[in-house]
Structure 1
């Protein structure tokens, strides 16, 4: 797959060595730190950046405009934001706010496949995180996850046996990954694996991080059944590392609003595609009101 020019620009920018001129060196170092801060948060008000880095509003705009011109960041109405590329995934805090209604609907349908007493792998994605609210009704369960966020959500839930996977901690996704994590996964066997990824290209699921792919693939291999949870925006994105073909999943859950040609394509591939209706949330909210 061809590399996205934006990915290459970001990699080059973050790898640039500091020039000998001290003023230019400070400027480049500051801009790299700003880029890291925005990528970690997803979106930051420019005024916050001035306070964090002790710079004037004019200097902040100058730094940001330079990175906007290079296609690294976006600026709109006093906010600078990061757009995920095929090489760099945005933070879990940022991703958790995107397509939230769609993710909640998909998670509710996914929870319907659970049976009491099962052992399940849950990945570190923000889509799978939305399943947490539905798990108590399915207890007792054994939940195995590398997501620190999910561990915090489930630690006090009665009748859920929580197995937290260790390894190297990655702040951008608030999760553990790497060789140690995969070794722990390989020693376990689960009934089901619930997973979401960054992109679908050429009928194959992709992610920006090779280590993420390796960790989730270990869960995939250690599970009897695999459920993929993807909102419709994932069909519009690209990422670098392949994970699995759509036909390898037992169920692929998408949200209502996924383009009909995509649904027909999945059906032609023989994929067991299930559509999560967004109206389920509206009905529930009305009942609660």
Structure 2
């Protein structure tokens, strides 16, 4: 589901269904739009942002200051500019509503691997975040996560024992990572690890952040079963740091709409790939 950062009709995004579907969710969607617009144009006057998105100057400054604090944007003399693209694209603000229907479809299939009584590692990805609304019917569960966003979503969950992983907090992804986080993970064992990454290159998954790779690898090593959740756009991206080969996962879930050639390649590698059906009737596409 591609979005045009130049499109001024922000209401389409702000009405998207997000976890919690609240004022906070709409605020996150608006900030994503602002980040995309700044990335596309390089720099935008704050006054232009107020007109484009139909918000007050105070709201614009509040949104921008939040992203400046998290290292995603720069602000100087009434003009907002972008930081390196890779950091912005890795942030939860940017990722929250991208490929939302695909992520929801993948999450619904992934949830079928959850059984009551299990302990789960859930990473800080926005794809895994879509599982939050599906966990109540699987309870009782123990959920272990480094994602502050996911902690907030699940903190009032009935019959869900929530274990939050501490460590160094990273604003850009709203999650805890680093040595302390990895040491906490090493002392735990979970039944299933659900994870998503930035890119698939040469039959392996990659991420832009080395710290992210190290933290997720600790969860990977401490789980009995590993399930990868990747929408079809991940096959079209690149990232710097290698995480794992596709064959190392017990299950790889992709959405309907993933190229047929890509699916065949994974099957040839012996990957247990599962295709999540799309409600809108997408079909796998052949290579162009």
Task: Give your verdict on TM over 0.5.
Answer: yes
The alpha-carbon deviation at position 279 of structure 1 amounts to 1.8
Q: 2-side partners of 1:161 and 1:147: how far apart?
A: 15
Which residue number corresponds to residue 219 of structure 2? Answer: 219
For the residue of structure 2 that corresponds to 1:143, the secondary structure is strand
Structure 1 stretches of 5 or more lacking a match? 1-37, 65-72, 74-81, 283-289
Q: Tell me: CA distance 1:89–1:158, structure 2 relative to 1, closer, same or farther (3 Å).
A: same
Mark the CA change 1:54 to 1:230 in structure 2 (over 3 Å): closer, same or farther.
Answer: closer
Q: What's the counterpart of residue 262 of structure 2?
A: 262
Separation (CA, whole Å) in 1 of partners of 2:217 and 2:189? 13
Report if aligned partners of 1:42, 1:83 keep a CA contact under 8 Å in 2: no
**Which residue of structure 2 aligns with residue 122 of structure 1?**
122
1:123-272 superposed matches below 5 A? 123-272=123-272
Q: Distance in 1 between matches of 2:178 and 2:281?
A: 36
TM superposition shift of 1:89: 4.1
Question: Which of residues 27, 32, 35 is equivalent to 1:42?
Answer: 35
Q: Distance in 1 between matches of 2:88 and 2:209?
A: 7
Contact 1:39–1:91, Cα closer than 8 Å, also in 2: no
* Shift >2 Å, 4+ stretches: 38-56, 82-85, 87-90
Tell me if the contact between 2:205 and 2:243 (Cα under 8 Å) persists in the aligned partners.
yes
Matches of 1:173 and 1:179, distance apart in 2: 17
Q: CA RMSD in A?
A: 2.5
Cα offset for 1:48?
A: 2.7
2:77 corresponds in structure 1 to 55
Q: Deviations over 1:94-119 (max 9, x none)?
A: 10111000000000000011000000
Larger helix proportion of the pair: 1
Distance (whole Å) between structure 1 residues aligned to residue 149 and residue 247 of structure 2? 30
Q: Secondary structure at the match of 2:94?
A: helix
Rounded to whole Å, the distance in 1 between the matches of 2:85 and 2:256 is: 23
* SS class of match (2:131): helix
Cα shift at 1:121: 0.1
Unaligned ranges ≥5, structure 2: 1-30, 39-43, 49-56, 62-74, 283-288
Structure with higher Rg: it is 1
How far did residue 280 of structure 1 move? 7.8
Contact (CA 8 Å) 1:145, 1:163: kept in 2 or not? yes
Sort the Cα spacing of 1:55 and 1:154 in 2 relative to 1 into closer, same or farther, 3 A: same
SS at match of 1:279: coil
Q: Distance in 2 between matches of 1:39 and 1:153?
A: 19
Query: How far apart, CA to CA, are the structure 2 residues paired with 1:241 and 1:267?
Result: 24
Structure 1 residues 49 and 205: alpha-carbon distance in aligned structure 2, compared to 1, 3 A threshold:
farther
Question: 1:96 maps to what in 2?
Answer: 96
- Residue 41 of structure 1 deviates from its aligned partner by 6.2
Aligned partner of residue 129 in structure 2, secondary structure: helix
Q: 1:116-138 deviations in whole A, cap 9, x for unaligned? A: 00000000000000000000000
Is the contact made by 2:32 and 2:95 (CA closer than 8 Å) also made in structure 1? no
TM-score (normalizing by structure 2): 0.72
